[in-house]
Amino acid sequence: MLVVSILVCVELAVLSWSVATYRYEQLERQMAQDMLVADAIAIMRPFAPDGTDTSTPAEVLNLMRRLRSAGLIVRSDNTEWRVGDIFARSEIDGAFNLDDPPGITTKITDALNLLLVGGGREIVLVQRSPVQVGSLVEVFTTDDELRAKTLKHALDMALVSLLVTLVLGWTLVVILDRWIVAPIIRISREVAAFHGDPEDESVDHPPSGRSDEIGGLEMAVDEMRTEVRRALRQQTRLATLGAAVSRVNHDLRNMLSTAVLLSDTLEHSQDPEVRRIAPRLIDSLERATRLCTDVLRFARDEKPRLTETDFSLARLVEEVDDATPPPQAGVVRLRVEVPPQLVVHADRDQMFRVLQNLLRNAYEALENRPDGDILVGAGRAEGHVWIEVSDNGPGVSQGTLQWLFHPFRAKDKLGGSGLGLAIVREIMRAHGGEIELAATGSGGTTFRLRLPQRQKAVQRPAVREKAL
């Protein structure tokens, strides 16, 4: 209906223009023929000196009858010649000056007026003679024949326009239906069926390979189905993981809590080395207990719980270094360029996990490299603290970049789960900060942390995780 409506509007515009042009051309043709009579009059001059018509040759009158003109007036200087019937000025319904052609709008209006209310009207055509310089010719006639010819032309053009509209409209409809409407309907049905049952692949239609927008839509829908199904399978695995962690978490936390209670006795040992190592051992056990809870919380899609305090970032980096052993193969140098006076306000345990994940990833990237180098730097900027962890490893592969911070999507680590960076980003966003991949390539990789410095939180004493 839209195509036919547009074609009808176009054909009506073309029809109006054609009829208006045809009517005006008929007026010009009428005037050109009568101009021959005017020229003959000017040559024969069958008039008395005072301008009175003394005799009109029969040839002139017969020519005017064939032209269906009632009469004409030829004005030259101060002389006027009249031939035939001259209408009274009060009876003339329209005067048309052919020396001043009207615009297309006026032509269309006059043509419609002729077709609708024309016929039997007396009109006069005015034009200067191209042969007799200074002569003005006025032709008096009726619009009966003009209306009949224009009406016939309008009907012929309307029939042609109707045939063109039908043929062209049907062709366009078939083409649009085949190349646009039908593919979109099929895609919409596939999307609706996919919405009803995402796992049913029987209704999938492979992309047609078109290079236009429809082909791009088909490719996008196909990629969307693939990604959603992959995400659904991933969510299923996450749900299974969450159920498994829930079952393991109880026993594991009981065992860790028992280990914490037993390790408390090491603090009272007489051996100075044991007393020195005991606090670190207890902190590691408590951190492992909290890690069990955090993994369970991640599987349940819960936000990390923060207990924000002020602490020395340089001291935290030292603890992370002590708790994160480098790879056995190769030599890795760790450089720490953190100002000793830099104090940050955040959850110390969560930031420990963040830095440990990044440092462990850097160690793994430098495994089996004889010249491994890691740099941990930090500083203050306007309203936040930045922390950078850089290495001179091989960089992140292109296949991993788009999934870098998504859980279980790591392709570079054959033995890892790909959960580390996802947890890091979650912790940073819980603090109101962010992690970004600042640089990567053959020269190494740099991760940058941005930690906003908000007002101090209410200090709460640390509480050990107890067994459930």
Supply the DSSP string of 23-71, one letter for each residue: HHHHHHHHHHHHHHHHHHHHHH--B-TTS-B----HHHHHHHHHTT--E
Radius of gyration for the chain, computed over Cα atoms and rounded to the nearest angstrom: 48
* Helix axes 2-44 and 104-117, enclosed angle (nearest 10): 90
Model pLDDT for residues 79-101, shown as the tens digit of each residue = 777 777 788 877 888 889 988 88
Q: What are phi and psi of 101, to 5 degrees?
A: -60, 135
- Categorize the per-residue pLDDT at 464 as very low, low, confident or very high, splitting at 50, 70 and 90: very low
**What's 177's DSSP letter?**
I
Q: Is the pLDDT reported for residue 444 higher than 80?
A: yes
B/e letters for 377-400, b = 16+ CB within 10 Å, e = fewer, are bbeeeeebbebbbbbbbbbbeeeb
How do 71-76 and 135-142 pair as beta strands? antiparallel
d(C-alpha 132, C-alpha 76), whole Å: 8
d(C-alpha 445, C-alpha 391), whole Å: 6
- Categorize the per-residue pLDDT at 328 as very low, low, confident or very high, splitting at 50, 70 and 90: low
pLDDT for the residue numbered 457: 39
- Side-chain half-sphere exposure of 85, counting CA atoms within 13 A: 12
Q: Is the pLDDT reported for residue 432 higher than 50?
A: yes
Q: Is the pLDDT reported for residue 54 higher than 90?
A: no
- Give the E-state strand segments of 69-121 in sequence order: 71-76, 79-84, 94-97
Mean per-residue pLDDT over the chain, rounded: 80
Instruction: Indicate the length of the chain as a whole number.
Output: 468
d(C-alpha 123, C-alpha 114), whole Å: 11
Q: Are 2 and 97 in contact (CB under 8 A)?
A: no
- Categorize the per-residue pLDDT at 57 as very low, low, confident or very high, splitting at 50, 70 and 90: low
Q: Which residue matches tokens 């016929």?
A: 119
- Which tokens go with 103? 């615009």
pLDDT for the residue numbered 437: 92
d(C-alpha 365, C-alpha 322), whole Å: 19
- Categorize the per-residue pLDDT at 264 as very low, low, confident or very high, splitting at 50, 70 and 90: low
β-pair partners for 436: 448
Share of the chain above pLDDT 90, in %: 20
Share of the chain above pLDDT 70, in %: 76
Q: Could you tell me the sign of the dihedral formed by the alpha carbons of 425, 238, 325, 290, in that order? A: positive
- Categorize the per-residue pLDDT at 55 as very low, low, confident or very high, splitting at 50, 70 and 90: low
Q: Under 8 Å CB-to-CB from 211, ≥6 apart: which residues?
A: none
What average pLDDT does range 282-301 have in this prediction? 65
**What is the maximal distance between C-alpha atoms in the chain?**
155
Residue 431 CB neighbours (<10 A): 22
Of 114-123, 174-183, 322-331, which gets the smallest average pLDDT? 322-331
Whether the model pTM is above 0.75: no
Q: Are 375 and 386 in contact (CB under 8 A)?
A: no
- Categorize the per-residue pLDDT at 390 as very low, low, confident or very high, splitting at 50, 70 and 90: very high
